[in-house]
Structure 1
Amino acid sequence: MKKYYYGLLLLYSSVIILAIVFVTVDSLGLDFAKLITDFWTFEQFLFSIIFLIFAVTILLLLLWVILDDNSKRSINQNLRRILNNQPLKLDEDSEINLNLLRLSKKMSHLTTSLQNTENARILKGQEIVKQERKRIARDLHDTVSQELFASSMILSGVSMNVEHLETEQLQTQLKAVEELLQNAQKDLRILLLHLRPTELENRTLSEGFDMILKELTDKSDIEVVYQKNIGKLPKAMEDNLFRIAQEFISNTLKHAQASRLEVYLNQSETEIQLKMVDNGRGFDMDTTHDLSYGLNNIEDRVDDMAGTIKLLSQPGKGVSMDIRLPLVQKEMDDDVEVEEEQK
């Protein structure tokens, strides 16, 4: 409460007490000289004053409670109107009402911004889905569809000329069809692996790497070399590293035409290193390349964790990615405490 409020309260209380004294003296027909000399009269006078002050105090408190309750009801109603995005009902230009009005305008602005952001997110999501569908259709057409079409043409030619073909020619044609179908099956598995990114969920980073690299080995002909020396990491860092590895593997499957993938995951007291190398066709780092979108995602994640990334590649020489992320002991301790509390 401000100082002048205390001053007004003191002044009001003094006026009330003086008025009560004056009214009491006047109603009893007393004078101050008689009050001082007559103890019994003075005692009655003092009791009357105290009783009147107490009664007036109770009355003022009751009045304050009623006014405070009405004020709270009015504020509560206006807060409900703000939550329901309705116009306010303000009876006077008090400081509280002005603050409620400003709050209403801010809530309206935030609601509009949120709706615009949500609409933009939905439109962006729809555009991403549209682009992804086009990419899937293009990948299917460029790989599986072409191989199945070639197999169909060969089989059609064989069926039309089977009586005129020698056994050796027939075996050659059928072997070519078999190879095309095997390639189509391989490309389809790779495409499905690329389309179905898995979640780390409740696994550790080491368990997540074991899972995706085993799936890569089972569904492709890529030789995988995996070395790890890693302990417990903060959850956010594990999720980001897992996504980075998925992005690199996806790019290797889609673009690199690699036969070998090396993954090294090492942890020291001050940093975590993720190094991934493939022996694919690589790309020219001085020009725009097909992996730019995926690499931008990787670089954004590394930047978010205050890390560094070193990328090396040449046409026909494969791709090497070396990521270093700093480890802060406090973050690791906090992460461990959160896990213990959850248990």
Structure 2
Amino acid sequence: MVWRQMGEAVLFSLGIGFLVVYLLESQGLAAPFESWSTIITFGLTAIGVLIAAGAAFGLYRSYPIRSRVELMRDAMLMLEKGNPVPPLPNMGKDEIGRLAEQLSRLSRKWEEQVATLQRLSSNNTELAAKVRMSAVIEERQRLARELHDAVSQQLFAISMTATAVGRTLEQDFERARRQVELIEEMAAVAQSEMRALLLHLRPVHLDGKRLAQAIPELVKEMQAKVPMHISLDMDEDLQLNKGMENHLFRMVQEALSNTLRHAKATRMDIALHRRGDTVRLAIRDNGVGFDVQEKKHTSYGLVSMEERANELGGSFNVASAPGKGTRIEIRVPIMAEERGWNDGGVQSDPGTAGR
């Protein structure tokens, strides 16, 4: 842009200079030159002066324009990355100024839409809590049926077989040995069924806990069950609205599940931090990796994480390759209506904030 402005200014100044010389010559106002050398010297000097003056004028005019365009470009890049845009300064009434005003209006509408999405997310979380309460009885009935149909029947079969062992032990030792082996098999099946039922009983929501408390507990639980090193680096005082915290917690859960089931990794790193007006969640493992283009649209876990990020008005990026591990980065903007209590470290319940 600077070179174009300078070039246009130089051409304009040269044109004005030639026009002035032509008018002076045509009106007989220019004194005749004594020799050709004088003409050449004067012409070269005039051209040099005109070029220097035009370049200086073009440089002077280009820098204010360039600075305004750079501000607009930075604002558009922030919008593209899902970050809130600070208010743009007054850029005048020309075309660039009008574009800046339109960009500011677009940024405000974007923030309003993201704020609406996050409010809806919080409302959905509260409604989900009420639905869970109404589903407790149904879940208890289902677990009771499964305990009766699976574990209770296995225990009854073990009891009957153990009774038979007592009767056949002295008469047919080989048959008794086979019955003991059958008891061991049925006990293993019953144990597997109990583990599956306990896994269903494990809470999958925050259940009233803060995100800074729930994620470390989740990581600690996983470390106790799987032979994989999991490191966690997160802000201890991170406080967000209920909807955002629930989505972030579920995305960490989904990432852990995907890594445990598919990655064959020995190490997993989780980082969750607030950076200005943005929350950044980064997850990385050293597993087998995958082809992103092939799996991104077929993996339910990745699709679910991306949908949650989009619901919060954020961005979702995944980088992986076969044998190179996987890295997931999620950025979620914090809207203006939440920054006041969030910066102060005291959260107001979204459900009571308007009372």
Give the TM-score, by structure 1 length.
0.41
Q: Whose relative contact order is higher, 1 or 2, with alpha carbons under 8 Å and at least 6 apart?
A: 2
Give the TM-score, by structure 2 length.
0.40
User: Higher Cα Rg: structure 1 or 2?
Assistant: 1
